[in-house]
Each structure stands twice: as C-alpha cells, then as structure tokens.
C-alpha cells in the first residue's frame, strides 16, 4: 500500500522547511499494550510508525515479522515503515507490504542484488528506502540513489535500542545532504538511533527531514507528551 499523497510528501521531505516527521519506534513500545500506545501517539501527532525487523544474523537481536504490523494496521491511519536488518530481505517484501507496511528500508550489505530488491519493493506497491550503518561509506549508496525515496541514516550501530548517539553522525548527515543536492535528488533523510531532545535540533539543521525515536520517547513520563516536546525541540 502506498502512502497517501500528503503522507508521501511529508515522508519525502519534498518541501524545503517542511515540518520534521517523527516516527516512534515499536522496538521501545510496551508490548503488553501496543494498541493503546499506537492510538495515543497517533493522536499526539506522530507521522507514522517504525518497525525494526531483525533476523538474529544481520544484527544480534531477533524481533518480529509481518504479524505485528498486520495486527496493528486497523488501529491507525498513519503509514508504517519497516527497517529490514536481515539477510535476503527479498523474502520479507511481499509479506510486509501485505501486512500494511508502506515503506521498506533495505541495507546494501544485506543482499548481493540490492538494485533488484529495491525494484521489487516498488513493484509491490511500497516506497523503496535504503539504510546505511555508521561504518558503511556513503559511496555504497550512490549506485541506487535514483531508486529510493527515503534514506535511513543509522546514528548508532543497529540491533539494540537505547544506545548513545554517535557524534560524527552530524557530519555524515550534512555530507549526505550535500551529495543529494549535487545529484539533484530529494529523498527523505531520516535518522535512527540516539535521537533525543539534545540531538534532534542539530540533526535537523544538518539536513535530517525525519526522525525515528525509540527509547527517548518512552524513558520518562507520557510518550505522547514526549513526542510533542521533541516536535518543539526540532522547531516543528
């Protein structure tokens, strides 16, 4: 299922100065009350929801597949994005899209056929995205930049929630933004890992158009109120 037009424009950051999109990460939710948290964060102004799909091999942890987004899909109109931290991500494209996920992030290291895999995401009716680890050079993205509508910049090493932000990520986001401008491309630049009230502003100024927030959203107090606080910190 594709994004609705307004949701797609928001996710792609197509308009300069557009409000920052914030995507709560399911990895940090209380799994005993997923539905209630989805409903509350929808009302609080989340742009969508982010699902971390892990296979225990590409990253150490094992999470979930299509079952969780399928169960939650009826409870919010907002788009779902899935970050596939898995080898052979091709096997999960159709099940996740069928479950209501409308954007898929694939890692270039996860398959020898990343170009083909991104094409399969688009053919399935979803938004193709690419994810890049902190230690992966940006040059790895260049062969597929024209194929993607969103780039997920990992600002921690993937696989675990609650990690500290890697400070060199700020320069990395700025470098990616400059690369895209040279190529005349305008995908979303979304950051994932260690995004909180201190890092969200500098990342925004470096070129981030969307933020995935997990543990900082649920660390203290009401997650919905924390979401509004992060929106204010980013100047939304």
The per-residue pLDDT for range 90-148, each reduced to its tens digit, is 999 999 999 999 999 999 999 999 999 999 999 999 999 999 999 999 999 999 999 99
* pLDDT tens-digit readout, 199-215: 999 999 999 999 999 99
In angstroms, the CA 13 to CA 19 distance is 8
Does the CA dihedral 89-109-207-159 come out positive or negative? positive
Helix, strand, coil abundance in the chain, percent, nearest 5: 40, 20, 40
In angstroms, the CA 70 to CA 38 distance is 13
Position 234 scores a pLDDT of 76
| Catalytic residue positions, numbered | 52, 192
Position 7 scores a pLDDT of 39
**Whose CA is closest to 140, among 127, 155, 121, 153?**
153
Provide the token pair at 144: 């597929």
Provide the token pair at 110: 């996860």
Position 236 scores a pLDDT of 55
Position 16 scores a pLDDT of 45
Average pLDDT over residues 38-46: 96
Q: What is the pTM of this model?
A: 0.90
Reduced to 3 states (helix: H, G, I; strand: E, B; else coil), residue 144 is: helix
* pLDDT tens-digit readout, 155-183: 999 877 778 899 999 999 999 999 999 99
Position 44 scores a pLDDT of 94
Q: Domains, the chain, ranges and CATH?
A: 5-233 (3.20.20.70)
In angstroms, the CA 90 to CA 230 distance is 34
Could you tell me how far CA 211 lies from the centroid of its own chain?
Answer: 7
Position 163 scores a pLDDT of 82
């Amino acid at each position: 299922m594709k994004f609705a037009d307004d949701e797609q424009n928001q996710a792609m950051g197509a308009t300069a100065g557009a409000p920052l999109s914030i995507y709560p990460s399911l990895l940090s939710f209380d799994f005993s009350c997923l539905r209630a948290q989805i409903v509350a964060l929808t009302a609080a102004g989340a742009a969508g929801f982010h699902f971390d799909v892990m296979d225990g091999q590409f990253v150490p942890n094992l999470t979930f597949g299509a079952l969780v987004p399928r169960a939650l899909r009826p409870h919010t109109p907002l788009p779902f994005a899935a970050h596939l931290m898995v080898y052979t991500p091709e096997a999960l494209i159709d099940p996740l899209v069928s479950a209501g996920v409308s954007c898929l992030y694939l890692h270039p290291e996860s398959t020898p056929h990343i170009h083909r895999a991104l094409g399969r995401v688009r053919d399935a009716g979803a938004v193709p995205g690419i994810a890049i680890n902190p230690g992966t050079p940006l040059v790895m993205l260049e062969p597929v930049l024209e194929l993607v509508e969103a780039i997920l910049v990992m600002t921690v090493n993937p696989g675990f929630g609650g990690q500290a932000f890697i400070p060199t990520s700020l320069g990395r986001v700025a470098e990616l933004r400059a690369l895209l401008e040279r190529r005349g491309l305008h995908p979303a630049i979304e950051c994932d890992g260690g995004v909180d009230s201190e890092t969200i502003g500098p990342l925004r100024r470096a070129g981030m158009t969307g933020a995935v927030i997990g543990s900082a959203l649920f660390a203290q107090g009401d997650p919905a109120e924390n979401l509004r606080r992060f929106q204010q910190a980013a100047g939304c």
